[in-house]
Amino acid sequence: DVKVTQSSRYLVKRTGEKVFLECVQDMDHENMFWYRQDPGLGLRLIYFSYDVKMKEKGDIPEGYSVSREKKERFSLILESASTNQTSMYLCASSLSAGGRVDTQYFGPGTRLTVL
């Protein structure tokens, strides 16, 4: 089975702190994604990566950056956390390269609270 893990289930940070959310997948997937989930808004794509060191902005990248130094690991970075970044963050991965659309597998999520 595909396994996607995230470093923390719950995280509490203070405004202005630098925050790292880590995601690891164990199935040699090419693509990795970061979404945030908010009530009434569903999930929105922050950033995704289709290869090591390759990344693209999603729909709401402002205030976030990402890093993918190894194929299995994709990090989301909040450079200076703000209260409006309080949310559930979900990582996902999928196998495909190129034009094929494969199923995305999700991690358990990190509920981040910024005080």
Partner 1 sequence: AQTVTQSQPEMSVQEAETVTLSCTYDTSESDYYLFWYKQPPSRQMILVIRQEAYKQQNATENRFSVNFQKAAKSFSLKISDSQLGDAAMYFCACAFGGTSYGKLTFGQGTILTVHP
Among residues 40, 62, 69, 84, the one that binds partner 1 under rule CB under 8 A:
40
Among residues 21, 25, 48, 64, the one that binds partner 1 under rule CB under 8 A:
48
Among residues 25, 85, 109, 114, the one that binds partner 1 under rule CB under 8 A:
109
* Helix, strand or coil, per DSSP, at residue 55: strand
Q: How far is the CB of 62 from partner 1 (least distance, A)?
A: 17
Residue 62 interacting with partner 1 (CB under 8 A): no
Strand residues in 1-115 grouped as ranges (E): 4-6, 10-13, 19-25, 31-38, 42-51, 54-57, 64-70, 73-78, 87-94, 105-106, 110-114
Virtual CA dihedral for 22, 1, 101, 52, nearest 10 degrees?
A: 40
Q: Which residues bind partner 1 (CB under 8 A)?
A: 31, 33, 35, 40-45, 48, 50, 56, 58, 90, 92, 94, 96, 98-109
